Structure 1
């Protein structure tokens, strides 16, 4: 039986209850207790939250836009991995599919990182699931789009920071036939032909599934840094060291 109870604050919540909620927010979003200098950076937002001037969702925006969060995840991760982590931290699930990653990658490239955080927290799904006062948590829903959707969320929600590296989202390493346990990606059952035979001129209909996924990964990264994107995919030939 799942005995987990979401943490929700309201106008009637005591300061002690809000302090408990605050620590749970940090554990969900930062995946750890913040350092003292990080608490200082968040001091004003913390005071506003503890005094009931702002709710959970507003505090999450302050945290997501802060250097505390961005230094921990944005500047130390590839953009696609960062997007996956945003869904884990603020939505409590993995991205549903490559289309969702592509949509938010477009926001990231055209509008910037703050807009990505805002778009997630202002989304209809977030409002429906968490509202303004419930702390996000790792979700297990009754129904999933597919068995793979369940697998991706389960893997991601149990992943420690950098456990599977800071470059390739689970949605991709899983489909590319990689085992990334321990922060190092290796091909499963020997060589992966899809990782050795990348041909940009190959039409999608002619390309094997693994190669098409690889091409799509390159396309997403291309607008960010084409040279780095090529280097990243090449590094998946045998193994990828944790960033």
Structure 2
């Protein structure tokens, strides 16, 4: 499946001006935090920002400091399930959704047995990250020329375009649409459960009677009448009995 458009990457190097690095910093926060930091968060990140703007550290090093900080962890880790957190890490640092269950299991094992810092480091040190972003390119929503499946395309597009916490902090995108869940309001509901809790209004008696009369008028044999009777709902049968009376 072909992508719709390509994002222009933002890269900084030793020749980049301070203004260019400042623009890259804005894009880093937009990609990773999905917003700009609050005033108190900037105090936490002040030293890392200063080092980045003065060319003491590159993009990948700054990302590690940001991702390991309480600013990032408070936003996406402490109040999320492990699976949702992993999905968000892929969104923020890889620019895509997890490929499959095997990839999820691999990083979930690191997260559970080695901790969140090791898990984030494993993503940022991965061969894929180095290939696409290196040390100086800001991660961005990636669009491949081809996707391994329509599902992979759908998951990446959905994840990269959702707003922060739009679909809650528990069920990953890779699961909610496969399970038929509606998570757009921040909490996941199953349409069939919602319909059970809030059943549609019953048709009126007049409507049922008119429907049954039309049905009876169309029958020209006892055999068709029996077939039709077997298909009647309890409401229709009740209405038919009232007509007979």
Partner residue, 1:65: 68
Matched, 1:133 2:108: no
Distance in structure 2 (CA, Å) of the matches to 1:168 and 1:185: 8
Q: Structure 1 pair 172/29, CA: closer, same or farther in 2 (3 Å)?
A: same
Are positions 1:47 and 2:47 aligned together?
no
Let me know the Cα RMSD of the aligned residues: 1.3
TM norm structure 2: 0.76
Cα distance between partner residues in 1 of 2:185 and 2:32? 21
Q: Which residue among 98, 104, 108 is the counterpart of 1:105?
A: 108
Note if 1:79 corresponds to 2:82.
yes
Give the CA deviation at 1:2.
Answer: 3.4
How many Å apart are 1:98 and its aligned residue? 1.2
The SS at the match of 2:167 is: coil
Q: Deviations over 1:98-152 (max 9, x none)?
A: 1111111100011000011100000000000001000000111101110100000
Q: How does 1:1-243 map to 2 (within 5 A)?
A: 2=5, 4-188=7-191, 190-191=192-193
The CA deviation at 1:157 is 0.5
Greater shift, 1-10 or 102-111, is seen at: 1-10
Alignment size in residue pairs: 191
Q: Provide the residue aligned with 2:224 in structure 1.
A: none
- Residue by residue over 1:159-199, the C-alpha shift from the partner in whole angstroms, topping out at 9 and shown as x without a partner, is 111111100101111111212112122224x259xxxxxxx
Q: What SS is found at the alignment partner of 1:162?
A: coil
* C-alpha distance in structure 1 between counterparts of 2:23 and 2:5, whole Å: 21
Q: Secondary structure of the equivalent of 1:127?
A: helix
Q: TM-score, normalised by structure 1?
A: 0.76
Q: Which has the larger radius of gyration?
A: 2
Q: Tell me how far apart the structure 2 counterparts of residues 46 and 40 of structure 1 sit (CA, whole Å).
A: 10
SS at match of 2:189: strand
Please state how far the C-alpha of 1:77 moved relative to its aligned partner.
0.7
Query: Secondary structure of the equivalent of 1:179?
Result: coil
Gaps of 5+ in 1: 193-243
